[in-house]
Structure 1
Amino acid sequence: MARGGQGLARVAVVVRAGAAPLWWLGVFAAGTGVLVPGVTGRRIGVLAGAALFVVAAAVVARARRGRYTALARDAARAGKYDVLQDRAVTVRAWRRGHRWWLLAAFAVALGSCVAVPAAGGMLLAGAGAGLRLKAAWLGRREHAEDVLLWVRVDWLGVRGGAPAGKRVGGYRSTGIAAGDAAPGGARRRAAALV
């Protein structure tokens, strides 16, 4: 980075990066699990899975909100020489850093179908839904305050760690039009770029 600038990644994009893989791996594992009768039977497995889905989505969506709020409240303005990372680069870095964890979670969800059909997959899908809800919450906050929140890439680490983890000392903020991701971390629509 020239003249002391930092590489910055969107907080909401980092949060949202895991939502799609967790959701789709969970849906696939649950769908496969329904085909296996399992020890408990399909009906109990699906009911248990539905409960796990709701609990996982709620827990993941609510986790560490106080820390996110505190970091957002104390966010410093991004500097002139800071470099804003593209959305696709942030998503790719997070998924590459977590690919083995995602595969392990998928394998466990599939393996659990022998005992409780579909439950493990629905738990995984619930975690993905929770991340999506958390990103939407961050997006509403960004939109209300008319800022976008960014975190230093070096604080995320090589594997694209948690944007509210212990290593994160603070956020940076920019105007709402900065970067290539809308509030909440979704892709900007073409009309919004004009």
Structure 2
Amino acid sequence: MNKWMADRRLILGILIAHLLLFFTFEDKTVFWYIFTASMLVLISYSIKHEEIEDQASALSYFSIGIASGLGLFVLFWLGSSIIDILNIPLTTQISRLYSRFSPEIIWHYLVLILIIAPGEEFFWRGFIQKRLNQHYGMKMSIGLSVILYASVHLYSGELILVLAAIIAGLAWSILYAWKRSLPLVIVSHVVFDLLLFVFLPLR
């Protein structure tokens, strides 16, 4: 614990993320405005304090990025189907999340793909996980970054979103640790979001 607690830029980044996401989830009517602004702040903070890492070829990050984004969506689709079949109470939470936070107009979709999905990867993998990896081994840095990523979703008040953040965060953290390529993970996240919110929404 003391290793990364001494990293002031890391701690400040975590605090800023929690503050911004707290306000993001506070009011549905301004959610997309605050979320977009929050991601722009976190992108700027990440770029200022960490170099962008890309150790994969263009072919690699497109092919693996698309395949992993598709695979992650299939995993979520299967989970949603099981929840529906077993009539688990989480069904209402999924529907509520879509009604509260899904993109509705064209600029929502644009910022989702161009700012929010890339921004989450810039900050949580390209900054948080990368800095944790300077203090810990790969497994510990992955575990801590996933916990931190999931923790800001607590402000939504929805357990299902926290669980989704744990699963997706784990997939993207492992992918980043494996390929050391931020563009690859961004492609994966964008493909996943396009399927989840545009082409094949679960609700």
Whether the TM-score (by the shorter chain) exceeds 0.5 is: no
Q: Flag the structure with larger Rg.
A: 1
- Which structure: greater strand fraction? 1
- Which structure: greater helix fraction? 2
